[in-house]
């Protein structure tokens, strides 16, 4: 089985995505977090536990004809979307927690005790504990701040645990999500406003190198190979689990990061790995042929030849193609009595992998 991964990095910005969502009149049908139209799904509500860029691309692809019919009925101008604009939309949906794993407070409460967190951190302020009380954690409102705080305090926490003969607790991304839901909904913290943005990663790549991240994370250990389709909670869990190893040797340990630097690096890392969809090219070729894509794109019909000459394919590129060419594609397919292709998230990932081999 062959798997294809090509880096497809974009300078995605959730603020630009929010503005685009309104400018392109998506908000007339869709809502995000309850704000907007009611005739189409709320795009901040997860569809399933394994939602990925390929997942949202497949959902938009499958619903394309219905969306175009609704747009025409409303008399709204058909959106035209570039790849960079599609990436901004993905960042906006992500900032609305669309891609994050759902957590469960009861599991989080049990983990807070079983993993030894309660031995160092009290819930309410004023208690005499080794670490700061949960009620004072500003990191609970923003995953990027959470990662920066974990990174900043990891060496200190490691020393405290060693002094108490407590092993470093391993956390899965589900554990991290459960802990966050529990801690965000305590009486002492539940009124805090969740504020999360994915800013443009401008300058992130330079920091990635100057702070020493690139010393380890290159080639097979590059983030697009290690973390494909991962959320920031996944990244936080991975950094937590590897902190003892990363800080084992003070001379080669990564350099400290400020909160703004963390945002820049994480935005760069997130975009680089999040849009690098993993798929099976051989299976993608079968989907491409069985869905009759080849009858137009591999034949002299006027449809463009699909290859990676203009850059790697990605979920973002597929969404851009859908909005730029979808209505014309549907009309052409109707003339040839071909049904609009329906693609599962796996189908979409595999087709992307196949297109990147052409």
pLDDT digit string (tens) for the chain, length 358 residues: 445 444 455 678 888 888 888 888 788 887 776 777 777 777 666 555 456 778 888 888 998 898 888 888 888 777 778 888 988 888 887 777 645 667 888 999 999 999 888 888 888 876 667 788 888 887 777 777 777 887 788 888 888 888 888 888 898 888 988 888 898 888 888 777 766 677 777 888 899 888 888 888 888 777 766 666 667 777 778 878 888 877 777 666 677 788 888 888 877 877 777 777 778 999 999 999 999 888 888 766 667 777 777 778 888 889 888 888 888 889 888 888 888 999 998 999 999 999 988 8
Residue 95 has a pLDDT of 72
Query: For the chain, what is the largest distance between any 2 Cα atoms, rounded to a whole number of angstroms?
Result: 76
Residue 142 has a pLDDT of 74
Residue 348 has a pLDDT of 92
Measured CA distances, 128 to 60, 110, 118, 124 (Å): 52, 22, 12, 10
Residue 49 has a pLDDT of 45
**320 HSE (CA, 13 A, CB side):** 14
Decide the pairing of beta strands 35-36 and 279-280.
unpaired
Residue with tokens 């909160």: 259
In angstroms, rounded to a whole number, what is the distance separating the alpha carbons of residues 81 and 261?
30
Task: Decide: 228 and 191 in contact? Cβ < 8 Å.
Answer: no
Residue with tokens 């590059």: 222
Is the four-CA dihedral 175, 177, 180, 181 of positive or negative sign?
Answer: negative
In angstroms, rounded to a whole number, what is the distance separating the alpha carbons of residues 47 and 169?
31
DSSP lists the bridge partners of residue 157 as none
Task: Decide: 357 and 108 in contact? Cβ < 8 Å.
Answer: no
């Amino acid at each position: 089985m062959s798997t294809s991964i090509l880096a497809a990095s974009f300078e995605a910005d959730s603020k630009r995505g929010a503005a685009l969502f309104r400018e392109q009149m998506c908000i007339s049908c869709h809502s995000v977090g309850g704000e907007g139209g009611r005739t189409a799904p709320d795009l901040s509500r997860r569809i399933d536990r394994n939602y990925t860029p390929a997942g949202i691309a497949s959902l938009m692809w499958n619903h394309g004809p219905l969306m175009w019919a609704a747009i025409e009925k409303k008399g709204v101008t058909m959106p035209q979307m570039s790849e960079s604009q599609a990436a901004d939309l993905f960042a906006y949906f992500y900032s609305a927690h669309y891609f994050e794993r759902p957590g469960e407070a009861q599991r989080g409460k049990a983990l807070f005790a079983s993993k030894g967190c309660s031995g160092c951190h009290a819930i309410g302020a004023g208690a005499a504990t080794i670490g700061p009380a949960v009620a004072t954690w500003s990191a609970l409102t923003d995953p990027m701040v959470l990662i920066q705080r974990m990174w900043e305090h990891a060496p200190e926490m490691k020393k405290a645990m060693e002094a108490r003969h407590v092993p470093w607790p391993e956390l899965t991304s589900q554990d991290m999500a459960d802990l966050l839901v529990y801690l965000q909904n305590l009486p002492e913290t539940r009124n805090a406003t969740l504020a999360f943005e994915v800013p443009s990663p401008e300058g992130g790549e330079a920091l990635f190198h100057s702070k020493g991240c690139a010393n380890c994370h290159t080639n097979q250990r590059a983030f697009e190979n290690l973390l494909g389709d991962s959320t920031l909670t996944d990244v936080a869990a991975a950094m937590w689990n590897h902190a003892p190893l990363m800080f084992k040797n003070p001379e080669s340990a990564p350099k400290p990061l400020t909160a703004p630097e963390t945002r820049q690096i994480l935005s760069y890392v997130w975009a680089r790995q999040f849009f690098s969809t993993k798929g099976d090219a051989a299976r993608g070729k079968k989907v491409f042929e069985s869905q009759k894509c080849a009858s137009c794109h591999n034949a002299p019909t006027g449809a463009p030849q699909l290859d990676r000459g203009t850059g790697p394919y990605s979920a973002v590129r597929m969404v851009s193609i859908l909005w730029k060419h979808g209505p014309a594609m549907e009309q052409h397919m109707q003339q040839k009595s071909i049904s609009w292709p329906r693609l599962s998230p796996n189908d979409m990932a595999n087709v992307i992998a196949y297109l990147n081999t052409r």
